[in-house]
Amino acid sequence: MIKRLPDQPTRCEGVAANGFVSTVTVADDNSGSMYQQAKEALANIDKNLEKLGSHKSKILTAVVYVADIRQKPELNRAWDEWADRANPPMRACIGVQLEGKDLVEIIVTATT
């Protein structure tokens, strides 16, 4: 049984199955700075995890895609404010091409 978070007709924002969940988020407003977008994307992770029956404390892994690796310190600033220090996720942060003005896109996996 797979639970899905509806988003678009051919994609969803998150899934839960067999004790694991995955979700992908960007900022709601992609006109902001790296810090602002990261903060929003991370807040969206919290929301999606709750909908999927999970929680920040149960995150296993995160892959953070940023549009400019030189802005990683700004990503880290948002991350460090957000992260659960009792349960720090495995994380990779990679510079890639994102669409339009998106500066950051984040995928996490977690347990339910």
For tokens 């999970």, name the residue: 54
Phi, psi of 30 (to 5 degrees): -95, 25
Q: Which of 30, 39, 79, 103 binds a copy of itself (CB under 8 A)?
A: 79
- Residue type (1 letter), 90: M
* Closer residue to a copy of itself, CB minimum distance, 36 or 68: 68
Among positions 83-102, residues that touch a copy of itself (CB under 8 A) are 83, 85, 87-99
11 pairs with which residues across the strands?
8
Does position 53 interact with a copy of itself (CB under 8 A)? The reply is no
* Closer residue to a copy of itself, CB minimum distance, 36 or 112: 112
Torsional class of 67: left (φ above 0), alpha (ψ -120 to 50), beta (otherwise)? alpha
Instruction: Give every CB contact of residue 8 below 8 A, 6+ residues apart in sequence.
Output: none
Does position 19 interact with a copy of itself (CB under 8 A)? The reply is yes
Q: State the residues that interact with a copy of itself by CB under 8 A.
A: 2, 4-15, 17-20, 22-24, 58, 60-61, 63, 65, 68-69, 72, 79-80, 83, 85, 87-99, 105, 107, 109, 111
